[in-house]
Amino acid sequence: MPKTTNRSTQLHTLLTQLNLGAMADVFADMALRAAKEGLSHEAYLYELARLETVQRTQRRTARLVRASGLPVEKTFRTLSLSRLSPSLQLQLERLKSASFLETATNIIAIGKPGVGKSHCLAAVGYAVIEAGYPVLWTPTSTLVQRLLAAKRDLRLPQELAKLDKFTCVILDDIGYVQHDRDEMEVLFTFLAERYERKSVMITTNLVFSEWERIFKNPMTTMAAIDRLVHHSVILDMMSVESYRAEEASQQQLSSTRPEKPSSKRASLDEAVASLRDAAPSSMVTQEGPLGSGGESISAQRLGAGSSMGNLLIANIQSARLIATDGTV
């Protein structure tokens, strides 16, 4: 028994040294399961290798997500696809496979503010990471300043090499920042470096005819657009309505709409009114053996300690409480 225990400890140490942490954690339990189920040695080893692969994939995905800078929770799970046209939904569905990376295809989402451009490309970014590719999400202004600082320090090639490690770079809001000449030059250099080698995804509120506002020079603008659209998928979201405007409109409507009393509340109000009318006389009318011809029987005749009298009083109080609270 001591030899078995020692061998188990040694095996755990060896697996850990080989960076097979998942196998080191489960090999003993899996050995017991294999013995009970009569698994072959090959099946036992296969299950260990499978668990190790699953855990490594999970760790890699988590590491890529942390390094990507992607917005939290901007995934396909939280994306309202019903707001998009069928053609846009189909385009996004195809992009989930990340096959566009094999041909260094660029993705350009064009639309007005608030239509979900950033959410769509972030969702694609998460799908790309799940496929095993490194992604970088960055506001365009942040990337431009990063490249500009590298150029001033004479290390622009090294900075571009760092960015080249990302299979896909997502530039958010390329149309919001008006660049000076130096900033425009480093942005163009970055796009030219990745042309036909690595993918770029871009969100913008400017149609291509307005991109001269970004690159200033008409020839530079034409060259940049030419490189981007040569191998590209264009997500045209100009006809999509702003979800922010829709939410604000709905909130405005809900705040100005007058409250209508519910039918339950109205019926309770009527019941309380009738009970109040009957309460001063403390009378309950009943036809039958206790009083013929509509003879009235007062609550006092039921007896001060009568359960029926108490029930009547309790019902009146309960009705008033329900009507005041507004719930049933």
Averaged pLDDT in 10-residue chunks for the chain of 328 residues: 70 91 91 91 93 94 96 94 94 96 97 94 97 97 95 96 97 81 91 96 94 88 94 94 71 64 52 51 39 38 41 39 34
Closest CA to 131 of 159, 158, 102, 153: 102
Q: In this structure, what are the phi and psi dihedrals at residue 303, rounded to the nearest 5 degrees?
A: 100, 135
Position 107 scores a pLDDT of 98
Q: Give, as one character, the DSSP assignment of residue 288.
A: B
Closest CA to 77 of 47, 33, 119, 46: 119
Q: Residues of CATH 3.40.50.300 domain(s) within the chain?
A: 76-246
- The C-alpha atoms of residue 284 and residue 198 are separated, in whole angstroms, by 88
Position 293 scores a pLDDT of 39
- The C-alpha atoms of residue 100 and residue 106 are separated, in whole angstroms, by 8
Q: Are 125 and 135 in contact (CB under 8 A)?
A: yes
Q: What share of the chain is helix, strand, coil (3-state, %, to 5)?
A: 60, 10, 30
Position 214 scores a pLDDT of 86
Position 242 scores a pLDDT of 85
Q: Please give the helix or strand (H or E) that residue 285 lies within, else none.
A: strand 283-285
Map residue 8 onto helix, strand or coil.
helix
Cα–Cα–Cα angle for 209, 110, 231, nearest 5°?
80
Residue 222, amino acid: M
Task: Please identify, in words, the CATH class of the domain defined by 76-246.
Answer: alpha beta
Position 208 scores a pLDDT of 92
- The C-alpha atoms of residue 3 and residue 1 are separated, in whole angstroms, by 5
Record the pTM: 0.71
